[in-house]
Amino acid sequence: MRKVLETVFDEVIMVDVLDSGDSAHLTLMKRPELGVTLTKLHCWSLTQYSKCVFMDADTLVLANIDDLFDREELSAAPDPGWPDCFNSGVFVYQPSVETYNQLLHLASEQ
């Protein structure tokens, strides 16, 4: 898979899967695939970049998105299904080892 991705993208970074292990709640919500959403926390370890825009693989960009880089961290759209949460399919963030470690710590407490 990596070789295929490298034919399309300039850089491919492999990361370990982070699973919430909360299959009971995810099953109740009928969203078992969200268990690995914590894998996105690895984004904050990409400190070779000053600001990034994360996009899920199923995101379709239809126009120039350069203005996203002018937004503050953390910028994301609200999730229509959970009004107190943001949709993690597209978000703007600033990589930081400190933030990365804090997020991993918070995730491990859950």
pTM higher than 0.85:
no
Q: pLDDT digit string (tens) for 26-35?
A: 555 566 566 5
Q: What mean pLDDT comes out for the span 6-16?
A: 89
In the chain, domain spans: 1-49+96-109, 51-94
Percent of the residues in the chain that have a pLDDT greater than 70, as a whole number: 76
Alpha helices in the chain (DSSP H): 2-8, 23-28, 97-109
Q: pLDDT digit string (tens) for 43-85?
A: 999 999 999 999 988 899 999 999 999 998 888 777 777 666 7
The Cα 110–Cα 106 span in angstroms is: 7
Q: What is the pLDDT of residue 109?
A: 74
Beta carbons of 37 and 82 less than 8 angstroms apart: no
